[in-house]
Amino acid sequence: MPRRITMADVAREAGVSLMTVSRAVNNKDGISEGTRQRIQEIIDRLGYRPSIIARSLVTDRTGTIGLIVIDNSNPFFSEIARGVEHEAYATGYNVFLCNTEEDTQRELAVLRSLEEKRVDGIILCSSRLPEDDLLVALEPHPAVVLVNRKLTQKHYLSILLNDEGGARRATEHLLQHGHRNIGLLAGPPRSYGGQQRMKGYRDALESAGICPKPEWTRHCLPIVDSGREAAADLLLSCPDISALFCFNDLNAVGALQACQSLGRRVPDDVAVTGFDDIPMAALVTPALTTCRTPTYEVGQQAMSLLLECINGCEGECEDIIFERELVIRESAP
């Protein structure tokens, strides 16, 4: 491996000083058009690439951000990631993608390693950390956008999803169709979104004069398999349940499978609702009634917000709230 071309090489070749090359590279003025072109030619010929590492050391900007999600193989997150990366690319940033895999220790570790990498900011999706830990872990980061998580002690710039409202509407939809005993696949206990959805679910039941029984609830991981197991368990122990409100679409797909293997028809014996409206939701049989989120846009907006934050518009930035639109399909018509 031959030594890399540095700015000094370009400067020597062009017979100018480092600063002149630097100005050419960064398109700054205070340099004649002639020298700029001459230097550009030499840069191209030599294949010089400025070291963002060296530049960062002095400018204190790395041109990188960190994106933390639970699990990039969950379409909800991979679509957010795509939105973030699209916006980042458009503005010259690179994105570190980190999965926490529902592990709070890993979430902390990742937050720390991004700090050591001196990212200009982070987008943290669906954090599972207790608020106290989160406050400490976020504090050293120069810019932060939270997705789907709200803190009580301190405000961070956020993209919020109206999970409570979405859950309420979905549950009301089930109630309107005569369901009284509605099961809840509640997702991970530490999920803020899960807690909001539970609120909406309970609220809707109580407004209808129904007391949501604790035994109607099962926590589960936000994946198909865990949803299947939780649903099967729930349907077996509470045979009078006629509808399932599921934390997300993956859980709902699992619920569909559980119903199938228990010989319960959907929606006739058991109605099922999902959450997120991932592409799969419309394609399974029966197609899922669910709450849609414009996931890609969430990612885009999160990155835009973060950029504003990085570029120092303290105070002027505002949280963005996305609605969860109820999409009615066959699993709960």
Partner DNA sequence: CTGTTAGCGCTTTCAC
Partner DNA sequence: GTGAAAGCGCTAACAG
Between 35 and 78, CB nearer to DNA: 35
Q: Three-state SS string across 110-172, please?
A: HHHHHHHCCCCEEEEECCCCCHHHHHHHHCCCCCEEEECCCCCCCCCCEEEECHHHHHHHHHH
| 52 belongs to the binding site for a second copy (CB under 8 A) | yes
Q: Is beta strand 325-327 parallel, antiparallel or unpaired with respect to 290-292?
A: antiparallel
Out of 12, 31, 97, 108, the only residue in the binding site for DNA (CB under 7 A) is: 31
Distance between CA 243 and CA 208 in Å, rounded? 15
> For DNA, which stretch binds (CB under 7 A), given 52-60, 76-84, 192-200, 315-323?
52-60
Q: Out of a second copy, DNA, none, which partner does residue 304 contact, by CB within 5 to 8 A per kind?
A: none
Q: Out of a second copy, DNA, none, which partner does residue 3 contact, by CB within 5 to 8 A per kind?
A: DNA
Distant-in-sequence, close-in-space partners of 147: CB < 8 Å, separation ≥ 6? 80, 123, 124, 125, 126, 158, 159, 161, 298, 302
| 40 belongs to the binding site for a second copy (CB under 8 A) | no
Between 48 and 192, CB nearer to DNA: 48
Out of 8, 46, 283, 313, the only residue in the binding site for a second copy (CB under 8 A) is: 283
| 265 belongs to the binding site for a second copy (CB under 8 A) | no
The span from the first CA to the last CA of the chain, in angstroms, equals 64
Listed residue (126, 125, 75) closest to 95, CA to CA = 125
Phi, psi (deg, nearest 5) at residue 184: -130, 115
Distance between CA 272 and CA 259 in Å, rounded? 10
Distance between CA 153 and CA 144 in Å, rounded? 15
Q: Out of a second copy, DNA, none, which partner does residue 113 contact, by CB within 5 to 8 A per kind?
A: a second copy
| 43 belongs to the binding site for DNA (CB under 7 A) | no
> For a second copy, which stretch binds (CB under 8 A), given 15-23, 189-197, 264-272, 275-283?
275-283
Enumerate the β-bridge partners of residue 271. 243
Q: Which helix (H) or strand (E) holds 307?
A: helix 295-310
By CB under 8 A, the residues from 58 to 117 that bind a second copy are: 62-64, 67, 71-73, 75, 78-79, 81-82, 85-86, 89, 92, 94-99, 101, 106, 109-110, 112-117
Between 77 and 216, CB nearer to a second copy: 77
Distance between CA 226 and CA 220 in Å, rounded? 6
Between 48 and 247, CB nearer to a second copy: 48
Distances from the Cα of 114 to the Cα of 65, 119, 137, 163, angstroms? 8, 6, 11, 29
State the nearest-atom distance from the C-beta of 15 to a second copy, in Å: 25
Distance between CA 177 and CA 150 in Å, rounded? 33
Out of 1, 2, 27, 30, the only residue in the binding site for DNA (CB under 7 A) is: 30
| 18 belongs to the binding site for DNA (CB under 7 A) | yes
- Binding residues for a second copy, rule: CB under 8 A, are 1, 47, 49-54, 56-57, 62-64, 67, 71-73, 75, 78-79, 81-82, 85-86, 89, 92, 94-99, 101, 106, 109-110, 112-118, 140, 142, 224, 253, 279-280, 283-285, 296
